[in-house]
Amino acid sequence: MKQANIIKPRNPDEWRILKAAAETFLEKGFTATTMTDLVASTGLNRATLYSGYGSKHQIYIQAMEHLQFDSRPRWEAVLSLEPGPAHSLASILSALLDLAPKMSDGEFFTRAAVELGDDPATARRIASYWDHMKADLTELFKRAQNSGQLPENRRPEAAAALIVTLVQGRYVAGAIDPEHRDEDQAQLGKALADLLLEAVTPVAGRGAGRRRASCHKPPEAPVPGREDGPAQSAGESPGRGHLRRRPASASLSPTAATRS
């Protein structure tokens, strides 16, 4: 799996402080969080907080690094599974999507994109976070192809991008409706996994149906001298682009009309 370039906290006390700061930012958001809030959550006085960790923005960046380092082993435990008899691709994706709402790092990075997406330091870390997840998922789908669980004509990179979008969507949905964020998460994860598999795996008969639809008889070519287009069945209304069928008498030549 691709190794992320993540800064590890230097000691347990720093770990505790950054975890407390991350929880505060996650609860209130960057803009609404004040240094007073961080003093209260970390237990440090203002002077120590400034001298040891810097400004609010610098603490925010360090909290992002902490969360990514703290959470990555749990992501890797799922993403490193081998698709095969013991673990189907569907079960791995279901486990991944079920894990997502329990992971605070993804929620933090999703909210960071909304609040500070135009800040270069934040944007760089956000892009790196999701790029690493896409790379890990791409490797998962390549292994699934090798084991025969994903068709060879499917692009692992595209499937990985789709999964990342679904994961991000779950974080957004949780932010919109936090009261129901934890309800039926396993069922939702399974439903999303099935949706993804339907998108990347051919369904029996679906391709044949498209082939049959494309093999319809082409429109009848116009016959020289005939003005009313392709023949129509009795009682059929004229289609778009066709001239209305003329009455029988109108189709007779003047000579034939005189003889009749």
> What 3-state DSSP class applies to 148?
coil
The model's pLDDT over 115-171, given as tens digits with 9 standing for 90+, comes to 998 999 999 999 999 998 999 999 999 999 999 888 888 899 998 998 888 888 777
Q: Are 111 and 29 in contact (CB under 8 A)?
A: yes
Q: Is 31 left (phi over 0), alpha (psi -120 to 50) or beta?
A: alpha
Between 214 and 57, the more confident residue is 57
- Give the Cα separation of 215 and 194 in Å (integer): 31
Full-prediction pTM beyond 0.75? no
Q: What angle do CA 137, 91, 71 make, to 5 degrees?
A: 50
Structural domains present in the chain: 59-203 (1.10.357.10)
Top-confidence residue, 198 or 44: 44
